[in-house]
Structure 1
Amino acid sequence: MAKRAYNFNPGPAALPLEVLQQAQEEFVDFQGIGMSIMEISHRSKQYEQVNDEAQSLVKELLGVPAGYQVLFLQGGASTQFAMIPMNFLPQGKAAGYVLTGSWADKAYTEAKGIGETYVAATGEAGGFRSIPAVSDIEARPGSAYVHLTSNETIAGSQFAAYPDTGSVPLIGDFSSDIMCRPVDVSKFSLLYAGAQKNLGPSGVTLVIVSDELLGQASKGVPTMLRYDTHSKTKSLYNTPPVYSVYIMNLVLKWIKGKGGLEGMEQFNRDKTKLIYDAIDGSGGFYQGLVDANSRSLMNITFALGSEELEKKFIQESEKEGFVGLKGHRDVGHMRASTYNAVPYESCKALADFMNEFRQRNG
């Protein structure tokens, strides 16, 4: 095999090499059935086993308590932005949104077109350099729910802890940091995540929802946009994204083999420390774009002293095999996405390149 790229793409993102190799081996003939898993019926016992096993692994790895459903849906997190208020924001109630950056704003904007909303907390005054303090998040009594975005992919910020919203349901978008560390699912009534950053390829969206919240869902929502449609059928109401769920199943097994979420957290902290140390030890040559107490384990954002220097950094890094380091078009600068499957060696190579580039250009 030719040398693999140092893949820091923000999503679709790196997948574990072991998973790709197993998928390659099984691509034409899945478990000796003479067909690819992409060719078999989603009603077959072979696919149902993959689907059931993946749901069980989600529950095991996240420690999902009793009274919750694990769903595999389609449409990405962006569809969830609409599905959530359509199902859980009735007339006469308001939903609070914690604004932490671009993705939280997208969810808030979608909900505003469906029902009454309010800003539960915001980091806008500081340019979204930090996550609002948990104590500053307002959960108004009687609210339909409070929504937060656990990790802002574009800004590079992440919640270190989550609020206790009492009797108000808490909903979380975990698209870019799901399973990067342990999380107390019982704090949330619903959490969701597009798979294409930490769980697998694009095409499937993980939703974990409490039975209590499910019981409050509106009945006047189109069938495919109702959570109970999918909970009653084990996510097999219509043809699911079979191959995406299959790859997710393999990724979940890979995470389990790496020590579960405790093992993943230590691994992520070790490898991202290399890059943050390169930023902090650069004497200002690299400037982090997020306050230290809000830094993400998944998306590291930083700037250089000039646009010309940043262009040179990108050009030279690409020649060295680095992919995906250019920041999002809305904010520019640099971003290294260090999701679960990004190897330690890739982060070490990037830190070494950053140090060498600084020595030549500082």
Structure 2
Amino acid sequence: MKILIAAGGTGGHLFPGVALAESFVKRDGISVLFVGTMRGLETKLLPPLGWKLLLLPAVSLKDRHGIKKITSYARLPLLLFRAFCLVMFEKPSRVVSIGGYAAGPVTLVASLLRIPTVLLEPNAIPGLTTRLLARWVSLICLGLPEAARALPQKKVMLTGTPVRKSILGVRSKSSKEKVKPFTVLCFGGSQGAQKINRAVLEALPHLQELTSSLRFIHQIGTQEKRERVKQVYTERGFEASVFEFIGAMEKVYEEADLVIARAGAMTIAELTIATLPSILIPYPYSADDHQRANAESLVRIGGATMILEAELTGERLANEIKKLTEDSRHLLSMSQALLKRRQPDAAERIVNECLNVK
């Protein structure tokens, strides 16, 4: 049996795809093939991991105007024909769509050819591809319960979002004996987030009384100078480990007591699996403001707090950090709330549903 996974663009689409692929190939007689485009991270991420990747042209219809929109629509017939040829040649038994530029045409073609198709929607607000394809697919698996509101109820199932194997093994400090100092992990995705970086550094003067009990691990991205950021921490008297990029997130998750981060789908999924309390700062320009909805999903169950970027200042962030460092019972209750939402078997559940769907 061959499984075709259409995923690409960002880590939020690719990492769940990899987690699913790993679960699929554990089963006898199943092979996995990815379909993406040259436009996303898939060409850099998937081949080094040993996954076969086929490419389609990238065509975006969202947020385009004028001649660009006309050009995009003009390219659609050729894209659909290429997707048709790919599906006919590969003859997959199932198609799993997780998002990215290739997901829409491949999933639509597979549905029209009566190949069982499954969508995975990891965000609280379904993306454009999910909304357009909802009527055509066999099943829609949800990472967050709020997404069900915008989708056909008879097709949705709450499974959680698959995460990497390494993340599944994380034991947060809330589940172990506490080790001082209190550690705050800050990151804004693989590229960093300059506004979060700035706010964290501006918070330090308001945290001066905590220099001996507070430690930072900070992923700053590639647009900041590591030496300059490290110097600010040193001048303010704080212990800090500063990185442009952290590959082994599982290691820093295990060291952290609190996370300051954006609210992308994979961040939400990984924080939930690791049961890590967080201060979430949603990216305000995400499609349909889905990051805010993702953050609100955790805030609603008591697993996180949220600061909107428009309200973000160093002082406001410092006050939130102080509240949580001084209230261990609140931190524990946040971890326990996430534990109730945690679904470590998400990948296996989705694989089972894919194999059973007709």
Q: TM-score range by the shorter chain?
A: under 0.3
Q: Whose helix fraction is larger, Structure 1's or Structure 2's?
A: 2
Normalising by structure 1, we get a TM-score of 0.27
Normalising by structure 2, we get a TM-score of 0.28
With CA pairs under 8 Å and 6+ residues apart, which has the higher RCO, 1 or 2? 1
